[in-house]
Amino acid sequence: MKKIVFALILACAMFMLASLAFSTQHSILLAIIVLLVVLWTNEALPIGVVSLLPIILFPTFDILSTNATTANYSKSIIFLFLGGFMIAIATQKTNLHKYVSSKLLTLFPNTPRGVIFSLAITSAFLSSLISNTTTALLLIPIAMFLTTDIKLKVRLVLAIAYGASIGGIVTPIGTPPNLILLGFLEQHQIEPIAFVEWILLTGPLALIMLIIIPFFLSVGVNHLKFDTHLEDREHLTSDQRRLLYIMGSLIVLLFVNSKIEPYYSGLGLNEKGILLGYGLLMFLPKIGFLNWDDTKKIPYEIIFLFGAGFSIAAAFSKTGLASEIANYLLDLTNLPFIVMILLVASLITFTTEITSNTALISIALPIIYSLGEAANINITLILLVSTICASYAFMLPIATPPNAIAMSSGAVKVKDMAKFGLLFNILGILAITAIALLYWQFYL
């Protein structure tokens, strides 16, 4: 109860502070956001319960209607999660994760640091080619069974989640904010960033983060050992072999479906439909592995969490708070270029923590575009900084799909993610700012 009272006190403090600069409605919205973030972080209530509070609070305080709020809990990306969770449950049910885990330990150094680096690099590579959401869904069940030591398990799961976010920025198809940026550039008749050019621009940044993050994740756990009871099985069972073929076909389909402009247009299939379709395939007699009772293992609280994130983003737009913030940001145009880039990077990174990066970047790009025009600076540069920062938010599960999937594993607590994430947010902001000033501004 003390944690709930503490959250309410902070929310009231935010309301009074925000009232000095914003309208009453905007101040209430900011207070509700503080309340939600504190309750998510201190775990005073279950995550799923906190994530459903916008359905009650937004209509009560005349921010969004009930229908407008609940519509955000059925966005199409949620069905991608459903399909991915079904595949993950099938992986656990057939014990395929144990087989893959034992094989993984024979390919990389059998030390915590070696495996943390290998998982992060594997996750980053895959997420640069298929979505970071899909990558995290496929890899985290494997990491969960490499060890029973909870301290080490947290680091392994976070290595995959953070690796997926790091690699997701390397290509335009790695994460939705990248595609949103390209669409925004086209909409405003700004010269787009070509596929290969994008890789050349973002590759060095990803490499830097792939050195920094696994290194810090492995601090303090390198003395721990992996479980020796994981069997190094020579042969797959028939169920495991069948599931492996199904998952292999899924990965191939995702690769073939990926668009590489202007060289390859892909198949044009919706990735969310692909994942949901393969998830439902898990129930098909003689092909799949699940029955309806298995769906009880789906972490529905993560689905509610994303619904809350989309609701917050909708509230920002509907109430005009996004535009109001943009007006205040115009004062930044008088600052030195390096300070403005640093502040924009910080603002996007930490704002992303309270809403999904996809929803946030949709709101932020028009604001940052106006800011860039007013400051008469390289608009493509500042938009790229904002887009990358939206993916490099590591503190809270609501920020990015990989963060949410890490939470759904049950191994990671919000406080664990927040502890590591705060450090990585700061390091990410500094790295992005340095790359933008020393590299991007000479090529964009």
pLDDT at 158: 95
Q: Which residues of the chain have a pLDDT value below 70? A: 97-98, 100-107, 129-130, 173, 187, 226-234, 258-265, 332
pLDDT at 232: 52
Q: Does the pTM exceed 0.75?
A: no
Q: C-alpha distances in angstroms, 247 versus 17, 44, 292, 299?
A: 51, 38, 20, 21
pLDDT at 261: 58
> Considering only CA atoms, which of 358, 173, 192 is closest in space to residue 264?
173
Amino acid at 206: A
pLDDT at 54: 94
Q: Which residues pair with 264 in a beta bridge?
A: 260
pLDDT at 227: 61
Q: Are 182 and 172 in contact (CB under 8 A)?
A: yes
Q: Are 123 and 136 in contact (CB under 8 A)?
A: yes
For residue 93, count CB atoms less than 10 angstroms from its CB and return exposed for 0-12, middle for 13-18, buried for 19 or more. Answer: middle
